[in-house]
Structure 1
């Protein structure tokens, strides 16, 4: 294991404590979703005894039956975890048995645009009710700087135990990229920030068993900010290239070729590509945590606000282009049949969180288009509670629909053949450059 800026181990919080039990496990993961389940799998694969806690009884029951609900964790992975002793619980009594507890619960946006910490608070209270001396508690849920020390720590200390003295407390931002087979959890450096140097040392030692490289932050706030910086950087640059795509069309510039050329520079440039919008569990959400925190201090985070505005208007731009394409063929969008290909937020996974396909479909319906969809990873799809019809044979379907919109470039799609067969094809992913295909 490679460790950057790790400090020496060694204080009484490293000891198991007085309440050690014979059936003790090394890790309890709270929240068995896209972050927690891969963490549990990786820990079990290196020989740690792992349990999981999820409040959804369907999730726990499915996992205990050997079935995964997460793209990056297969049923075979779950069975191997079970063979290593993994069990999923809905009862928080399992937390008292764990040397380390990692909180991986969702932090969506609240109605006022800030982070909804209700799941974090609930999980922390569950931990506090079972907290014992010597435990390591780590928050991985993405949130604003200060959450670990201002929200989690006081709740845990209601137990009468003190962070850095009786138990260790740290923050380590998740860096899960669903569908990425190159940079999995083990190969991706893990940032860790502790409430005290001894807390950080405990967390570094724990994650060093699971990942190849651990990077120690100065503290929990720096670790929390690192996560937001990573995704704010992407959010802002995606907005930049999305706006460029709109402007380049007016300037008669091929934005895709400009990006290709700029991407040949071996330093100082990273290529981002335009799309129908921003989806996923990080980029559309995380920068708002930072913006929310900045606003609470009386400032504006204008980059984030502008990026959000630009990215949010991309579905409207896509639908306007759809309308223009149909107009050139002498058809109105009203009453036209439009086929949407790929409704997940990224290629080759089933994850639909914050997918731009939803606002695109909503806007098309608002303009009275007749929509259907195809996605090799999604069998049923609804928008605003209304089911969208799914076509079975995509090659046959593109021949009959007035317009086909490629929203997600799944590798299962034979794009050249679809381009040949479609009556009209609008490629929002920049994958099909040939006469007769309109590209974003």
Structure 2
């Protein structure tokens, strides 16, 4: 009779063999900005992939080969669906057919900036209903250190199966940068940390067969979880420094963009980060707060993280105060002024407006009585306040000429900047879109 260790080794080798010869069936729970690109890459690598999502609309679109994620190539999705390499379902009983499954669901914050792990827990329970010997479960959702072992592992082991012996569990953080033309899911290095060595080994094997990048193995899920938060906290803090510099430089009459460009000439010890109207997306504005919440368990106060969060969260208010200041110089008040906001996506050339700083800017413009219009060539429509939908609009000559102030909130490549500069009365540029133009009575930079 096999010992538990021998059984675990045997199951691991069996799964590794299936992963290497591409006979393993792979599941992806959550078909959003992380899950769908991952499912596509796994199917392109030769695996049969089943995508799971609670939203029937997403499932129907995937099964029709209709793409809704910017980083997925339309033709590739259609081909994979047509060749039956990828299918989607809302029926989680199909989990019993998969050999490995990745959890790619949201991990938002609640109103108290505490992690909301409901989606992760729900996914774990759905998987536990159909988990079987030799199965691999990988959490990819960004979360606080300890989630995999403290939350997922107990749920999965309630089935009577033992992690590392009967099934394998690991954490591998998603690294998705929407709109990045150089680094995508396929070629971005992957960090993997399993609960046991066999857990790490089988997870690393799966990603190694899917991605064209290095697979960096770490000693535990907690290290991988902390690594991901460290990445985004690093960016959060440095962006906060750039934003604070922008505020101070404006007061001192110094061009912060010229300052950063000058500093970037140093070949060591400096990495340029740039100011903007605030942070957006589902990672940088949110992830550091997971660590802040977890730190309380150890009676530690994350002062630097919280301060940077406050600075970045204040930027939409600062943008509106600058708008009021610029309007005053033209003899107008915010109340009743027509404001054209260019861009609602949280960064350049993407269609994602989750946590976009433009949304609180619009709310503050409302509070001030401004009459605003948003144009974003990448966003078909967006939900604003109370779930009301704001439809897609286009820039027209009449719109530019009859607007009191144009605010460049997102510097999409699709904007005709020459026409905007020519036809607008006044421009407030929060993204330094016109790098070679000096500030003047018509053009102001953040």
Q: Distance in 1 between matches of 2:12 and 2:207?
A: 14
Local SS of the residue matching 1:209 = helix
411-420 or 239-248, larger mean C-alpha shift: 411-420
* Residue in 1 that maps onto 2:170: 170
The alignment's C-alpha RMSD in Å is: 1.7
Whether the aligned pair in 2 keeps the contact of 1:142 and 1:286 (CA below 8 Å) is yes
2:9 to 11, 16, 38: 11
Question: Deviation at 1:46?
Answer: 1.2
Q: Distance in 1 between matches of 2:167 and 2:224?
A: 19
* Residue in 1 that maps onto 2:257: 256
- 1:31-430 matches, within 5 Å, as 31-82=30-81, 83-211=83-211, 212-385=213-386, 386=388, 388=390, 391-430=393-432
* Residue in 1 that maps onto 2:444: 438
Whether the aligned pair in 2 keeps the contact of 1:373 and 1:389 (CA below 8 Å) is no
User: Structure 1 length as normaliser, TM-score?
Assistant: 0.94
Q: Distance in 2 between matches of 1:186 and 1:382?
A: 31
User: Structure 2 length as normaliser, TM-score?
Assistant: 0.93
80-89 or 359-368, larger mean C-alpha shift: 80-89
Task: Report the CA distance shift for 1:119/1:388 in structure 2 as closer, same or farther (over 3 A).
Answer: closer
Q: Distance in 1 between matches of 2:227 and 2:364?
A: 35
Task: Report the CA distance shift for 1:343/1:199 in structure 2 as closer, same or farther (over 3 A).
Answer: same
Whether the aligned pair in 1 keeps the contact of 2:170 and 2:221 (CA below 8 Å) is yes
Whether the aligned pair in 2 keeps the contact of 1:372 and 1:390 (CA below 8 Å) is no
Q: Distance in 1 between matches of 2:125 and 2:73?
A: 31
Question: Which structure has the higher relative contact order (CA within 8 Å, separation 6+)?
Answer: 1
Give the length in aligned residue pairs. 427
Local SS of the residue matching 1:130 = coil
Q: Distance in 1 between matches of 2:203 and 2:137?
A: 9
Q: Distance in 1 between matches of 2:411 and 2:146?
A: 39
Gap runs ≥5 in structure 2: 1-7
Q: Distance in 2 between matches of 1:14 and 1:387?
A: 49
Question: Deviation at 1:13?
Answer: 2.7
Q: Distance in 1 between matches of 2:427 and 2:109?
A: 35
291-300 or 219-228, larger mean C-alpha shift: 291-300
